[in-house]
Structure 1
Amino acid sequence: MRWVFVRDVSGTHRDEYFFTTAPELTPSAVIGHYCGRWNIETTFQEARSALGLETTRGWCKNTVLRAGPCLFGLYTVVALLFHALPAAKRTGAGAWPGKATVTFSDALCAVRRWLWAEAVLPQAGDGTALQKLPDPIRELLLTTLAPAA
């Protein structure tokens, strides 16, 4: 077993301890492997908060085994649709001080907004109902319908 202790001499972060069962790894490699997990951990956290991962309501073994892959598939579809949207359509993101990047909730909101505007609402009436609304009302409607719950 290899144990790596990291101390922040500036005092801005807490001390960290890393363990591995691969003693041939250098301390830098151990820390590098940990840092490489960040994207995976973020994916799981966002899938839990935005899509309900690990909150299956089913009791059947097959239901539980299907839920995870289906939710990760949904996560992937949302990410792909968001990146396929033109930059002008990537709207509806919540902003706060210090926020530097788009979160999954922002992407989900933009995809929902696009789906409401392009697929769901145009089917109402003769297909021009959304276009007949004044711009402020249309924006209010889409802003209300799109955010992730």
Structure 2
Amino acid sequence: MPPIPIRWVLIRDPQGRCKPQALLCTDLEISSIKMMQWFRQGWQVEVTFEEVRAHLGVETQRQWSDQAILRTTPALLALFSIVTALAHQLQSTHPVACPMTAWYRKLNPSFADALAQVRRH
């Protein structure tokens, strides 16, 4: 196979908490900003799956039929979307509280905070 030209962007954490990472793309017309946006969107998907695992029980279901297994994960992902949409609607009248402690200041509510808010209302 002949070599394929790639566009690459090296991203670094200014505070040094994360290792530098290279973003690679075979579309040479894509801007570096767009590549970073795609990277961030992928991270949001990872966070969504982690939240669904932690709070809605994806991967811990105990069904006995293949059909039930095929239905459960999409249903739980739909539930995640519904809770997120409801929390977003409630935000205007009942803002989601971000619990804070003296040693931890949370800037944005988590899915657990949104789920608790939806359960309260």
Instruction: Report the counterpart of residue 65 of structure 1 in structure 2.
Output: 70
- TM superposition score normalised by structure 2: 0.70
Unmatched tracts of structure 1, length 5 or more: 115-149
- Which residue is 2:10 aligned to? 6
Which one of the candidate residues 37, 43, 55 is aligned to 1:50?
55
Which residue identity is paired with 2:52? A
Residue correspondences, number? 111
Which has more radius of gyration?
A: 1
The RMSD of aligned alpha carbons is 2.7
Unaligned runs of 5+ in 2: none
Partner Cα distance (1:4, 1:59) in 2:
47
In the alignment, what sits opposite 2:107? 100
TM-score normalised according to structure 1 size:
0.59
The worse-fitting range, judged by mean Cα deviation, of 31-40 and 8-17 is 8-17
Report SS of the residue matched to 1:37.
Answer: helix
Instruction: Measure how far apart 1:104 and its partner are.
Output: 0.6
Structure 1 Cα separation of the partners of residues 81 and 31 of structure 2: 33
Higher relative helix content: 1
Instruction: Tell me how far apart the structure 2 counterparts of residues 25 and 57 of structure 1 sit (CA, whole Å).
Output: 47
